Each structure stands twice: as structure tokens, then as C-alpha cells.
Chains A and B, each alone.
Chain A
Amino acid sequence: DTAVSQTPKYLVTQMGNDKSIKCEQNLGHDTMYWYKQDSKKFLKIMFSYNNKELIINETVPNRFSPKSPDKAHLNLHINSLELGDSAVYFCASSQGTPSNQPQHFGDGTRLSIL
């Protein structure tokens, strides 16, 4: 009965590789997000999709490409991984585009670049 689930939980790979992280929510929400949390625990939004449409795109390198096949899924593909991409990536979801709804987070994907 997990609300927001991400796979994989851990991802260890070498610099230059391409990898994907998947996210699914069963809350019936129509807005989904990707956040990056660095080693200092700072959380920053990367992308947001509402009903499969991109609505927030922060200053993120083009190597990061989100894809939303339907409103319950938001995947993140990363090309040419770099050392600085090492972080924990969190998926979240909320209901509707109004700003006054709480976002519910998954448990994160810890990405380590060797």
C-alpha cells in the first residue's frame, strides 16, 4: 500500500553511464515532482509534471530528462552521469496545481557515481 514508490533504492554506477529512476504513485494525484537532496541535506526541486505536462523545470542540466507516461508515473533519465550527480533523488506527488496542497514523498533513490 506504498503511496509513492521509487526504484531502485540504491544505484551505484560509473561516470559516463546512462541510468533511469522510476517513480509511481497510487494516491490518485495529478502532479508529480523530482527533488535532489545533496550531502548537506539541502532539498531542491528539479521538475514537476501535472497530468503528464511539464510545469516546473528548474535550472537542471539537459542530461536530466523526465518522462511521464501517465499521471501516476514520473521517471527520470540521466545521461552521461557525472560525479556531481551523486545525491539522493526524491519523487513526490500532490493533488492539483494549486500551491496549497501537501506533497507526499517517496523514500528516495541514493545515486552514487564512481
Chain B
Amino acid sequence: GESVGLHLPTLSVQEGDNSIINCAYSNSASDYFIWYKQESGKGPQFIIDIRSNMDKRQGQRVTVLLNKTVKHLSLQIAATQPGDSAVYFCAENAGGTSYGKLTFGQGTILTVHP
């Protein structure tokens, strides 16, 4: 498949399990964070975002946690389904005059087994 040869972090789970994907960001001035899902042959798809004045935000089956002290972001997916299999990216924006310049993490490959 497309992931052959890639050396991204990987996470394999069984259908129905909860998944946690982690991301360390680098810029302490970043004030906005986004999680994207990228399926094979597609563009990154927005999942959920969080601003730096929050430490948790929930969506449908997804939760994002932000720990500014250790510059860590996580994405939790509840009751993971085979359709959740994809590469997941975190992205940060430094705010101010960065004008929407997103800096992406390296990505994590999530594989969900039926």
C-alpha cells in the first residue's frame, strides 16, 4: 500500500477500541492547533481544532487535548472504525503575523483492524 517505505509512527488498533494519537509541537508561541486526517489519494481533511486558551475540546467521537506546559497535543478517537484508517497530522499556527501559516507534524499512520 501507500504506506510501504514510509517511516512514520504507526498505531494499530482493533475495531471498537479507542485510539490516542500524540503530537509534540515545537513553538511555545503557537496559539491554534488543528488535527487533520489524510486518506490515500486525498487531501488533508479537517477533524477538530483547539485554541491555546483551552485544554480540551470534543467533537463527534473525537477529543483533542492540549498541554501547553509540555507542548503536547493528542487526538482521541472513540470506538475506532475501519474507516478511521488514515494518516493523521497535527498542525500548529504561531498566531500574530503568521497569517495562517500552519506547521505540520510528521504524521501518524492509524490502521484499524476489523
A interface residues with partner B (beta carbon < 8 Å): 4, 31, 33, 39-45, 48, 50, 55-56, 90, 92, 94, 97-108
For B50, the closest partner residue in chain A by CB is A100
A45-B41 in contact (CB<8A): no
Give 12 new A-B contacts, CB below 8 A, not counting A40-B6, A99-B100, A100-B49: A40-B8, A43-B89, A48-B100, A92-B43, A97-B100, A99-B32, A99-B98, A99-B101, A100-B32, A103-B100, A104-B46, A108-B43
> A48 near B43 (CB under 8 angstroms)?
no
Rank and list the top 6 A-B pairs by shortest CB-CB distance, nearest first.
Answer: A105-B43, A99-B93, A43-B104, A100-B32, A102-B46, A99-B95
Tell me how many residues of B have a C-beta within 8 Å of chain A: 32
Expressed in whole angstroms, the Cα–Cα distance for A108 and B51 within the complex equals 27
- Nearest chain A residue, comparing its CB with the CB of B39: A107
